[in-house]
Amino acid sequence: MLYIGIDLGTSAVKLLLMDADGKIKKIASRTYDLSFPHPGWSEQNPADWYEQSIDGLKELLAECDKSRVAGISFGGQMHGLVTLDERDEVIRPAILWNDGRTAEETDYLNQVIGKETLSGYTANIAFAGFTAPKILWMQKHEPDLWKRVKKIMLPKDYLAYRLSGTFCTDYSDASGMLLLDVEHRAWSEQMLEICHVEREQLPKLYESYEVVGTLKPEIAEELGLSPEVKIIAGAGDNAAAAVGTGTVGEGRCNLSLGTSGTLFISSEKFGVDAHNALHSFDHADGGYHLMGCMLSAASCNKWWMDEILKTTEYAREQEKIKNLGENRVFFLPYLMGERSPHNDPDARAMFLGMSMDTTREDMTQAVLEGVAFGLRDSLEVARSLGIRIERSKICGGGAKSPLWKKILAAVLNLKLDLIESEEGPGYGGAILAAVGCGEYESVQAACEKLVHVVDTVEPDPVLVEKYEARYQEFRKLYPAVKALFPFT
């Protein structure tokens, strides 16, 4: 049989067709617009997600035996607020994960309700990108629109709803709303009361590998598929990427170097970082995970290349970088504020340490190193909890750079395993679809069969020592400049 994984990203939707043996048969992608109506705001039109997904599905299925398609599942950008009215029409553009408008609401939750209280209810504190602060913002600033809200959704769940008619979400994605009791896998009644949300406004909860419904007949006809094709709940993008890299079960690690950057550690047991610098979420395999998330990772390099250097020759820009571990220029990678571990939506990016002999290559190198140092910040929190990680899988667009992987391996002092498929959330979504359709008895069993390590980047001991010294300098910078934020 064939299985489809839909990776609903921030800039594009990527669709992947996989057979039962894990072989990728075809990939299609479609882009859509991202809107920044005010500084620090980030929005998208959910209708664009659906329309581009349908168009991508048609390309994906054009040359295959459509009768063999058994299931569709998802990996999707997390935390976005999607609101529907009683006629199932989108009320306003979705407020995305990297939107920073909710500083006041985040402060209210953390300071008035209290971080300890929030952590007790949800295992997490409030971050500007989470869904609950967005809900409070909408209630305050758009009360007339809020009165119309009948359904509150996350981005990938809007696709599932349009495809199946089932109002659903999964535990991994719901974990990032600040409305879920993560430990007990249930909506937190206390948080619903705090956020003035009715239970009926929230979707039914599923495990990521559970079937939520089947394809609507009219959509099945449009795509040439059977209406018996199963729709499986899917997962938040990071949990789906972890499945796609085999980061399931106890004590596995995955680095995702996409638009955002994440350090993801899977566990069979529930656990919370005492300072809530790392997120404590449910995992797509039925277990749990700890995750550090930096809001700008590969997007830092994209910004530097596209907007500042005005070039698409990413690899060529990195060719002249030779003196690893010796760069005197630092880059703080906070283009959209920062989440882990600083939780500061007002933080901004900056270069430090430039002099008259600073070169273009120094600054490019500083961008790559700054992201690596930011991920190291989260790894240090994990290490402070007694978690010992010696190796990690790596995925995401930034992982295609040999130089960046070499830098990361040295900065983190980890062996970085490269897998056969680099498709992350899309591949994870297809695996979840296969599990949901009964092809495999569990997510872990599927990953053991389908995910294969093909290469490993070993940390260079000389660079490890050099970067250790550079990191100790880097970690002093944010505390030193924090008082300057926000810039006016």
Predicted pLDDT of residue 34: 93
Closest CA to 36 of 87, 88, 98: 98
| Burial class, 275, CB count within 10 angstroms (exposed 0-12 / middle 13-18 / buried 19+) | middle
Q: Mean pLDDT throughout 71-78? A: 96
pLDDT tens, residue by residue, 260-273: 899 999 999 998 88
Per-residue pLDDT reduced to its tens digit, 415-443: 999 998 778 899 999 999 999 999 999 99
Please report whether residue 481 resides in a domain: no
DSSP string, 460-478: PHHHHHHHHHHHHHHTTHH
| Distance (Å, whole) CA 451 – CA 247 | 10
Spatial CA neighbour of 91 closest among 156, 151, 35: 151
Q: Is residue 94 part of a domain?
A: yes
Joined together, the tokens standing for residue 426 give 């899309």
- With residues binned 3-state (H G I as helix, E B as strand, rest as coil), the percentages for the chain, rounded to 5, are 40, 25, 40
Query: Mind listing the pLDDT tens digit for each residue in 359-382?
Result: 999 999 999 999 999 999 999 999
Burial of 192 (C-beta count, 10 Å sphere; 0-12/13-18/19+): middle
CB atoms within 10 A of CB 92: 17
18 is in an annotated binding site: no
Token reading at 202: 């929230």
In a domain, 88, yes or no: yes
487 has a pLDDT exceeding 80: no
Asked whether residue 89 is domain-assigned, the answer is yes
Catalytic position from the list 99, 157, 237, 344: 237
Give bridge partners of residue 283 from the DSSP assignment: none
CA distances from 120 to 64, 105, 269, 271, 322 (A): 49, 19, 17, 12, 48
Average pLDDT over residues 448-471: 97
173, 235 in Cβ contact below 8 A?
A: yes
Structural domains counted in the chain: 1
pLDDT attached to residue 421: 78
End-to-end CA, the chain: 56
| Other residues' Cβ atoms within 10 Å of the Cβ of residue 461 | 10
Average pLDDT, the chain: 95
Task: List pLDDT tens digits, range 174-204.
Answer: 999 999 999 999 999 999 999 999 999 999 9
Angle between helices 425-436 and 443-450 (to 10 degrees): 120
Residue 114 forms part of a structural domain: yes
- For residue 78, say whether it is annotated as part of any ligand binding site: yes
Q: What was the pLDDT predicted at 488?
A: 58
Rounded to 10°, the helix 461-474/402-412 angle is 70
Would 138 be classed as within a structural domain?
yes
Do strands 415-419 and 391-395 pair parallel, antiparallel, or not at all (unpaired)? Answer: parallel
Give the residue from 397, 381, 399 showing the smallest Cα distance to 389. Answer: 381
The count of residues in the chain is 488
**Host domain of residue 36:** 2-238
Q: Is residue 449 within a helix (H) or strand (E), and if so which, with residue range?
A: helix 443-450
- Please give the structure tokens belonging to residue 354: 């430039």
Catalytic (active site) residue 237 = yes
What's the pLDDT score for residue 346? 87
> Is the distance from CB of 149 to CB of 155 less than 8 angstroms?
no
* Residue 401 maps to a domain: no
The token pair at 368 is: 């790559």
Give the DSSP H or E segment for 140. Answer: helix 131-141
CATH for 22? 3.30.420.40
Residue 107, domain member (yes or no): yes
- Cα separation, 365 vs 325, in Å, equals 10
Which one has a higher pLDDT value, 377 or 276? 377
Q: What is the pLDDT of residues 315-373, one digit of tens each?
A: 999 999 989 999 999 999 999 889 889 988 889 999 999 999 999 999 999 999 999 99
φ and ψ of 274, to 5 deg: -60, -30
Write the pLDDT tens digit of every residue in 146-161: 999 999 999 999 999 9
